[in-house]
Amino acid sequence: MLTLVVYDIHDDKRRQQLARVLGRFGLTRVQYSAFRGDLNPNDKEVLIRKVTKYVEDEIDCIFVIPLCGRCLATSEVISKNGRMLVSESSVEIV
């Protein structure tokens, strides 16, 4: 199922590590702290177990959101440049 993962991780190192893990699951970065891609139910459960360790602070949070076809078809992207995806080369970790 198409899945959206959105996160807010306070620590830079853990945030970078989380992004790499999400990429290894075949998810594509769509915003600086958001990834999207197809996950079967087993991979979704494995992903949830793996990413849980990156939530250490009270303010850290990860959302794993399934997207149905109808939800995706009716979604809107609002952007000045008309693009939804963030290119990996434009992501700067400070």
Is the residue at 90 inside a domain? no
pLDDT tens readout for residues 24-33: 999 999 999 9
CATH of the domain at 9: 3.30.70.240
Is the residue at 84 inside a domain? no
How far apart are alpha carbons 66 and 5 in whole angstroms? 9
**pLDDT of 41 higher than 80:** yes
pLDDT tens readout for residues 52-80: 999 998 999 999 999 888 887 787 777 77
Q: Give the distance between the most distant pair of CA atoms in the chain.
A: 37
The range of the structural domain enclosing residue 39 comes to: 2-74
pTM attached to this predicted model: 0.81
